[in-house]
Amino acid sequence: MTFLVKAAIPSDAVGMMFAGQLTETESAEAAAIIRAKFHLDQPPLVQFYYYVSDILHGDLGVSIRTRARVIDEIGYRYINTMKLAFGSLMIGILLGVSMGIISAYYKDSFLDIATMTVSLFGLSLPAFFFGILLILLFCVQLRWLPVIAGGGWKGIVLPAANLGLILSASIARITRSSMLEVLDQDYIRTARAKGLNERLVVFKHALKNALLPVVTIIGLQIGNLLGGAFIIENVFGWHGIGELGVKAIQWRDFTITQGIILISAATYVVINLIVDILYQFIDPRVKLAK
């Protein structure tokens, strides 16, 4: 799909590199040399063959603009994005599961309605909107945190909170739905009739059996987390693959763009595989196929 989009765009990274810097003749000659080096003068199908061949040899290619290896360009930025994703995931799980349990336990109460209304806003509003609000409150008004994310722990707080708040909305709704279903089961009523502590009934018996769909949605939300990182990293100036991806698109440097898409897709697949494996530990009834 990336190659199809690239073929449909009239300009490329080589043309943008020399735009307005050299005479028309010099630009054409220099561009022709670079295009030949990167096989950009070949039909898209031939370019795709060279790219897949390099991938099979463990080579993501070389950036047309910076001339650095794509794997080196992505390297530390990928680690930064994973730090942001992990922080967001922790915040999203903590808030989402807590909100879902409270909402289910106090079903149809004011607390339930308020919690679900907040989660609805989290699902409906775009990620950058929350980012701007957080910057206005914590950076401009209170001046507790930096506007542009740095290398310290303060730099990751707002972007992680931004993504975590959005993630918590979907987790809260799934947790509530799953908890309501479990709390209505006969064994929960039996546990209460035996006089077991209410906290034990909710957290040990009900929550454990309600976790399977929650874990499923968390795995599926990883894709949204990586996609949201593209926006949030640019809002907060966080140096991750999202920020690099936007720059690569502006540069028309599709070698970097393809590398980011490939690594992001691989990360999504691996995380969902881990989630599938975790099922058997959460629910003993689930067994991996032999």
**Per residue in 130-154, pLDDT tens?**
888 888 988 888 888 887 766 567 7
pLDDT in tens, 154-180: 788 889 899 898 889 989 999 999 999
Per-residue pLDDT for 228 more than 70?
Answer: no
The stretch 24-39 carries a mean pLDDT of: 72
Res. 17 pLDDT band, cuts 50 70 90: low
Res. 20 pLDDT band, cuts 50 70 90: low
Cα–Cα distances (Å) from 128 to 98, 149, 150, 229, 266, in that order, read 24, 15, 19, 10, 26
Nearest C-alpha neighbor of 100 from the set 122, 82, 133: 122
Tokens of 131: 């980012």
Higher pLDDT, 86 or 12: 86
Res. 98 pLDDT band, cuts 50 70 90: very high
Angle of CA points 53, 59, 61, to nearest 5°: 90
Per-residue pLDDT for 115 more than 70?
Answer: yes
Nearest C-alpha neighbor of 85 from the set 204, 182, 200, 230: 230
Domains of the chain, CATH where assigned: 2-56 (no CATH), 79-282 (1.10.3720.10)
Per-residue pLDDT at 285: 65
**Cα–Cα distance measured from residue 127 to residue 67, given in angstroms and rounded to the nearest whole number:** 33
**Cα–Cα distance measured from residue 242 to residue 227, given in angstroms and rounded to the nearest whole number:** 8
